């Protein structure tokens, strides 16, 4: 399994994602300006502040040349994970439903949160079990997941809600405590918390590794 991690101007967590992915497979960085996925089996759009979050989070990054390739790759079932800013980019690009709005506190918050696994059959959660709690840090200013109610109903009905904040852990005010959603096929997942920062007990938790292991299990 080879992971490709996209580097935009302003990405911050791409090296962390690279290093995390290398625990379960091969990984390399992909350049935003190259319309080329270099034959990787899974793409990660990392956290950070692509284009400085200017105008609106994820708004400018979605037009990068690499994004066109990622859209095609996702449409043919390719594995795509958007973490934090990557989630915002995937929503802006229309690969996932909904949008991310400013936290109700309007502040950046960096905190370890407990997440409930709601769907363990997506490409990125296959190594988890439903109901299990993952302890993963979240850190963002714009992480309040929003979609109109009918869309939320549909996401829930289709099993596209992948992770939820545990009771009391939804600090950003996300609708229905949603922390992660997928596309209908389950190959594209976006989440606000940072699994790449939870791959080593020494730095707090290794629960995030399960997302990378899940992808590594998917037959190429």
Partner 1 sequence: MSRVRVLIRPKAGILDPQGQSVERALPALGFEGVSHVHVGRLVELDVEDTSQVAAMCEQLLANPLIEDYEIQS
Partner 2 sequence: MAKHRELGLTDYEYDLIVSKLEREPNEVELAVFSLMWSEHCGYKHSRPLLKTLPTEGPRLVLGPGENAGAVSVAPGLACAFKVESHNHPSAVEPFEGAATGVGGILRDIFAIGARPIAILDSLRFGEVSTSARSRYLLERAVAGIGHYGNSIGIATVGGEIYFEGPYEQNCLVNAMALGLIETDKLIRSAAAGVGNIVVLFGAKTGRDGIGGASVLASAELDSSEDKRPTVQIGDPFTEKKLLECSLELLDRGLLVALQDLGAAGLTSSSAEMASKGEVGLDLDVRKVPLREEGMEPFEIMVSESQERMLCVVEPARVDEVLAVCARWEVDGTAIGVVTDTRRLRVFEGTSLVGDMPVTALVDECPTYELSPAEPATPLYPAPPVVLTSSDPGEVLVALLGSSNVASRKWAFEQYDSIVGSRTVRRPESADAAVLMLPSGDTDPLTVLYPDGSDGARPAIAVAIDGNGRRVAADPYRGAVEAVLECSANLACVGAEPLGLTNCLNFGNPEKPHIAWQFTRAIAGLGDACRGFGIPVVGGNVSLYNEGGEGPIYPTPVVGLVGELPDARRAGRLGFLAEGDVIGLVTA
* 59 interacts with, out of partner 1, partner 2, none, CB within 5 to 8 A per kind: partner 1
Contacts of partner 2 in 120-139 (CB under 8 A) = 137, 139
- Does the protein bind partner 1 through residue 60 (CB under 8 A)? yes
**Residue number with CB closer to partner 1 (38 or 54):** 54
- Mark the segment that binds partner 2 (CB under 8 A) among 51-59, 65-73, 157-165, 182-190: 51-59
Angular region, 21: left φ>0, alpha ψ -120 to 50, beta rest: alpha
* Number of residues counted as binding partner 1 (CB under 8 A): 22
Tokens linked to 41: 């089996």
Compute CA distances 213 → 22, 196, 203, whole Å.
10, 12, 19
- Does the protein bind partner 2 through residue 210 (CB under 8 A)? no
For the question of residue 196 being annotated catalytic, the response is: yes
8 Å CB contact between 5 and 17: yes
- Mark the segment that binds partner 1 (CB under 8 A) among 55-63, 66-74, 134-142, 159-167: 55-63
Q: How far apart are alpha carbons 161 and 200 in whole angstroms?
A: 26
> Of 38, 56, 107, 217, which one interacts with partner 2 (CB under 8 A)?
107
Minimum CB separation of residue 172 from partner 1 in Å reads 10
DSSP string across 111-152: EEEEEEE----STTTTTS-TT-EEEEEEEESS-EEE--HHHH
Which is catalytic among the residues 14, 69, 169, 196? 196
Return the sign of the alpha-carbon dihedral for residues 16, 76, 175, 211. Answer: negative
> Of 12, 29, 59, 109, which one interacts with partner 1 (CB under 8 A)?
59
For the question of residue 84 being annotated catalytic, the response is: yes
H helices of the chain, in order, are 14-21, 65-75, 85-92, 149-157, 209-217
Active site residues: 84, 194, 196
Per CB under 8 A, residues contacting partner 2 are: 9-13, 15-16, 18-20, 22-23, 33, 48-49, 51-54, 107-111, 137, 139, 141, 194, 196-197, 199-200, 202-204, 206, 209
């Amino acid at each position: 399994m080879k992971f490709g991690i996209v580097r935009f101007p302003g990405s911050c967590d791409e090296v962390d994602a690279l290093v995390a992915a290398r625990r379960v497979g091969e990984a390399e960085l992909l350049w935003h300006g190259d319309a080329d996925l270099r034959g990787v089996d899974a793409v990660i759009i990392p956290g950070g502040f692509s284009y400085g979050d200017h105008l609106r989070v994820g708004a400018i990054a979605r037009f990068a040349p690499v994004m066109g390739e990622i859209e095609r790759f996702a449409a043919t079932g390719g594995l795509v994970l958007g973490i934090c800013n990557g989630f915002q980019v995937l929503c802006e690009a229309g690969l996932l439903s909904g949008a991310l709005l400013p936290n109700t506190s309007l502040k950046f918050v960096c905190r370890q949160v407990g997440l409930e696994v709601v769907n363990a059959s997506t490409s990125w959660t296959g190594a988890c079990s439903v109901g299990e709690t993952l302890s993963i840090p979240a850190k963002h200013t714009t992480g309040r997941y929003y979609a109109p109610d009918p869309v939320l109903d549909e996401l829930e009905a289709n099993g596209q809600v992948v992770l939820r904040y545990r009771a009391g852990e939804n600090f950003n005010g996300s609708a229905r405590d949603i922390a992660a959603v997928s596309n209908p096929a389950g190959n594209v997942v976006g989440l606000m918390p940072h699994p790449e920062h939870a791959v080593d007990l020494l730095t707090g938790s290794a629960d995030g590794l399960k997302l990378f292991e899940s992808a590594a299990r998917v037959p190429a």
